[in-house]
Amino acid sequence: MMITGKSYIGRELSGKGNVHYRTFNSNEEKENHWNIVEVVREEIDSALIKAKQAFLSLGKITEEGRSKFLREIANQLDEHRDELYEVYMAESSLTRSRAEAELNRTINQLELFAAHIASDSYPETVRHSGVNDLKKTYLPLGPIAVFGSSNFPFAYSTIGGDSASALAAGCPVIVKAHPMHAGTGELVAKYVLIAAEKTGMPDGIFSNLNIRSHDLGAYLVQHPEVKGVGFTGSLTGGRALFELAQKREVPIPFFAEMGSLNPVCIHPSALLNADLIQNWAKAFARSISDGAGQFCTKPGLLFAIKGSALESFKMLLTEELERCGHHSMLHPELYNGFMNKLTEASQAGGNQVRMFEQNTSASSVPSFLLSCTSEQFLSNKDLRHEMFGPAAIVVECQDLTDMNNAIAVLDGQLTGTMLYSDTIDPGLRIIFETIKERVGRVIVNGVPTGVEVCEAMHHGGPYPATTDARFTAVGTNAIRRWLRPIVYQNVPEELLPDELK
């Protein structure tokens, strides 16, 4: 495993900057030995010049050609699993089985987009012969900047869903590598570029830039040759870059997925007997603590009606959370952020169901369960901030009306969940409607974690879950973020693209 710490400007390794940083191994509580070199503006410019050239060449490459490229990336990743796992684990402190599952998902996504664009129904065309002969198809927007997430070094970073969908659309990709797993990023980029060369893709179709500073991130978003951005990260970062993208001389589509509280509404019937209580306690303990709770769909708020059933559920859930053990978080910075949010929620009235442990660290975090009343929840916004780690808050409500009022103050969310076990009463129906208006996905009697990658998926939701509720980050429709329609009116066959001939 060789990490140079340099950036890929197209195929070329480059490291002109003099700012260096290192990634961190939370498990071993030490920095990784490879040294990452942050790019300078000139290198960003070079990547964009190459991307612009590549975009022109891509016009001559068919869907089949791009499809082969995506499949070859999948092959390359598949062939170098051990090497990839090693750096992934060193930089994320996630387990090998998680690394495997995530790489499989990444490979599946690449193959899904490869199959999608190779199918006869892509791109969606419409024809009309009236006064004129009209033929509609889609064109790619141009070079897309991808800001990878911290929590999915494979599946939502370097060649994750954003990059795969943009390349599938025919857009060159410039990745702003996540500084917490820059080594993994470099290695993945290396295999993407080998695949590009093998399948005859133009130089500049893919670049991987080591960027840590806000200034350079902003420079990339404002670069005139960038025609769209895919971002996965925090609300603060996403919002700031979104505004820069809209203030450009030429505003560009900026799709950000920025986190979610993923409320769960528990109808009393879901906790009607000991079996049900046990069942949901087990399921939610895993959903809250898996991946150290560092998932965008982690259930962060559990709304329930107070009483003895809820007390039993809280106790059992705490026990199950304890059984899930301690976790390493991705990075000490995320650990600190998580602990701060936890403290804020505590100070805002979130009671500890069991006492917090005192000696926690990024390498050893237990799961936390807080509870508060619906009144506290309504009056204090600190109980409505995402805690990016293994924690959830139980909001104790008087009745279903009270629960409905509490969820009605929530902003947009990726998901909303409802648990029940008997007939659907009017109170439950109202809650369902309230959830529906606020989320991109409603789950009944299940957990929100686990996002299937398929055409029917929608991973998005009203602001601040995303910057545009009309688009998805997961599933084949994710490609629509990077395409624009065009109509050919009375255009002779010779000039039409293949799909319209």
CA distance 97 to 201: 33
CA distance 50 to 167: 15
CA distance 311 to 293: 23
- Give residues with Cβ within 8 angstroms of 61, minimum separation 6: 170, 200, 201, 202
| Residue 250 binds a copy of itself (CB under 8 A) | yes
C-beta closer to a copy of itself: residue 91 or 162? 162
DSSP summary character for residue 482: G
| Residue 81 binds a copy of itself (CB under 8 A) | no
Say if residues 254 and 264 touch (Cβ distance below 8 Å).
Answer: no
Q: How far is the CB of 244 from a copy of itself (least distance, A)?
A: 10
Q: How far is the CB of 20 from a copy of itself (least distance, A)?
A: 36
Q: Which stretch binds a copy of itself (CB under 8 A): 131-139, 276-284, 309-317, 381-389?
A: 131-139
CA distance 202 to 172: 9
Identify residues 157-216 at the interface with a copy of itself (CB under 8 A): none
C-beta closer to a copy of itself: residue 394 or 465? 465
Beta strands in 15-143 (DSSP E): 20-21, 24-25, 30-31, 36-37, 126-129, 133-140
C-beta closer to a copy of itself: residue 342 or 410? 410
Q: How far is the CB of 337 from a copy of itself (least distance, A)?
A: 23
326: its two tokens: 């301690």
| Residue 132 binds a copy of itself (CB under 8 A) | yes
Q: How far is the CB of 246 from a copy of itself (least distance, A)?
A: 4
Instruction: Give yes or no for a cis peptide into 462 (omega within 30° of 0).
Output: no
Q: Which stretch binds a copy of itself (CB under 8 A): 95-103, 302-310, 316-324, 483-491?
A: 483-491
Which residue of 30, 33, 127, 381 would you call a contact of a copy of itself, by CB under 8 A?
Answer: 127
Per annotation, catalytic residue among 171, 265, 296, 372: 296
Identify residues 300-319 at the interface with a copy of itself (CB under 8 A): none
55: its two tokens: 């975009």
| Residue 409 binds a copy of itself (CB under 8 A) | no
Q: How far is the CB of 477 from a copy of itself (least distance, A)?
A: 7
Q: Which stretch binds a copy of itself (CB under 8 A): 41-49, 208-216, 325-333, 458-466?
A: 458-466
C-beta closer to a copy of itself: residue 212 or 438? 438
C-beta closer to a copy of itself: residue 2 or 495? 495
Which residue of 2, 82, 426, 456 would you call a contact of a copy of itself, by CB under 8 A?
Answer: 456
For 246-253, which contacts have Cβ atoms below 8 Å and span 24 or more sequence positions? 248/222, 248/224, 249/224, 250/224, 252/141, 252/226, 252/227, 252/228, 253/141, 253/227, 253/228, 253/229, 253/468, 253/481, 253/482
CA distance 472 to 466: 9
- Give residues with Cβ within 8 angstroms of 44, minimum separation 6: 174, 209, 216, 219, 220, 223
Which residue of 1, 28, 42, 59 would you call a contact of a copy of itself, by CB under 8 A?
Answer: 59
**Bridge partners (DSSP) listed for residue 351:** 371
Asked about 257 being catalytic, the answer comes back as yes
Q: How far is the CB of 444 from a copy of itself (least distance, A)?
A: 5
Which residue of 120, 121, 275, 470 would you call a contact of a copy of itself, by CB under 8 A?
Answer: 470
Dmax over CA atoms of the chain, in Å, equals: 76
Q: Which stretch binds a copy of itself (CB under 8 A): 2-10, 91-99, 108-116, 450-458?
A: 450-458
Q: Which stretch binds a copy of itself (CB under 8 A): 7-15, 126-134, 268-276, 357-365?
A: 126-134
Alpha carbon distances (Å) from 171 to 123, 186, 352: 14, 20, 49
C-beta closer to a copy of itself: residue 275 or 455? 455
Alpha carbon distances (Å) from 362 to 21, 87, 120, 285, 326: 19, 18, 49, 20, 10
Q: How far is the CB of 104 from a copy of itself (least distance, A)?
A: 14
| Residue 128 binds a copy of itself (CB under 8 A) | yes
Q: What element of type H or E holds 117?
A: helix 96-118
DSSP summary character for residue 385: S
CA distance 296 to 176: 20
CA distance 477 to 165: 9
| Residue 274 binds a copy of itself (CB under 8 A) | no
| Residue 458 binds a copy of itself (CB under 8 A) | yes
Say if residues 386 and 363 touch (Cβ distance below 8 Å).
Answer: no
Q: How far is the CB of 465 from a copy of itself (least distance, A)?
A: 11
Compute how many residues bind a copy of itself; rule: CB under 8 A: 66
Q: How far is the CB of 172 from a copy of itself (least distance, A)?
A: 14
DSSP summary character for residue 232: E
| Residue 424 binds a copy of itself (CB under 8 A) | yes
Could you give the residue numbers annotated as active site?
Answer: 257, 296
Binding site for a copy of itself (CB under 8 A): 59, 126-128, 130-132, 134-136, 139, 141, 242-243, 246-247, 250-251, 253, 411-412, 424, 429, 432-433, 436-437, 439-446, 450, 452, 454-458, 460, 462-464, 467-470, 472, 477, 480-481, 483-492, 494-495
